[in-house]
Chains A and B, each alone.
Chain A
Amino acid sequence: MRRFPISAILSLVACVCSTAVYAETPQQILDGLTQQAKTESADFQGFDAARGELFFKQTHANDWSCASCHSENPVNGGKHAKTGKAIEPLAPSANAERFTEPKKVKKWFRRNCNDVLERTCTAQEQGDVLTWLLATQ
């Protein structure tokens, strides 16, 4: 009877499990937002990191800003303002999982913009924030 090359199977399994498979890169998500911004506004001028940073740190319609939970420095982790649960860093440079799952990105912009601004965010606003986050090391 032929013996199974157990070590080969094990190393294959280890290989598959350790390689994180991301649906998209943050750049692809940013490209998608660019397309969306062009549709939303005819005179779209591109994204701006400084504007994104200001948007992130400012309060809008409510007491909360994005920074209330995510902290002022997105390289650091944050803490949920209500429950106290730890939040992993938002900047892709500090957390490779961020902005790799379009469905998740959409879900969280929907929820958090409702909480912070009481409305949906425009593609311009989302793209500005993501541009700033990508520039943050």
Chain B
Amino acid sequence: MLKKTRVSSLMMGVLLITSTTVFWVSKQVVADDDGEKHGSEHVYSATLPVWKTECGECHIAYPPQLLPAASWQKMMGSLDNHFGTDASLDADAIAEILPFLEKNAGSERKYAAAPSKSAMRITETRWFIKEHDEVSASTWKRIDSPANCAACHTTAEQGNYDEDFIKIPR
């Protein structure tokens, strides 16, 4: 009987230490030294097959979270002139994709366009500019286009923009 009690208290102790460690580690992931949040915040898991295919043909299917719903509505209404190219889709595809974008859109506040910038470009939101403020002009020059997330975010195709997977091309 005594032995059994000792075993169970030992197990409780192990459990307590393990859960405390997990809690501590997960807190470390969220706040690193630059004061910005990292970890799960930069991993976008919302997906829809038709969105992934249609929005991922000329560029990566950008996470719906990175623009507010109003921007997506405007974008899906003007695909025949999509940043200077015809990206038109049939009505069925739009009817499937737009609700998905709206449902997973980011907040109006966080993803607002920078002053006098387009509300339809992720790269021109205040959020994007701040997140990339340490990227030098020469680094940007080495990349075909800021639209090419995967040039540095090696796991962008999977929706993972965590800084652990960034590799700046030389």
Which A residues contact B (CB, under 8 angstroms)? 79-80, 82-85, 107, 110-112, 114-115
Contact = CB atoms under 8 A, between A and B. Distances in A.
Contact of A83 (B86, B88, B148): B148
A68 B58 CA distance: 14
B145 A82 contact: yes
A90 to B, nearest CB: 14
Contacts of A114: 80, 86
A48 B114 CA distance: 51
A133 B80 CA distance: 27
B87 A83 contact: no
Interface residues of B, number: 18
Contacts of A110: 86, 88
Interface of B: 58-60, 80, 83-90, 143-145, 147-148, 151
Contacts of A107: 88-90
A115 B85 contact: yes
- SS class of chain B's interface: helix, strand, loop or mixed? loop
Most buried by B among A79, A84, A110, A115: A84
B73 to A, nearest CB: 21
B147 A84 contact: yes
Contacts of B151: 84
A114 B86 CA distance: 7
7 contacts: A79-B144, A82-B85, A83-B58, A83-B59, A85-B60, A107-B89, A114-B86
B3 to A, nearest CB: 42
A85 B88 contact: no
Nearest to A108: B57
A112 B147 CA distance: 19
A82 B89 CA distance: 19
A85 B57 CA distance: 8
A82 B145 CA distance: 7
B84 A82 contact: yes
A25 B164 CA distance: 44
B145 A111 contact: no
B87 A111 contact: yes
Contacts of B80: 114
A84 B149 CA distance: 10
Nearest to A64: B85
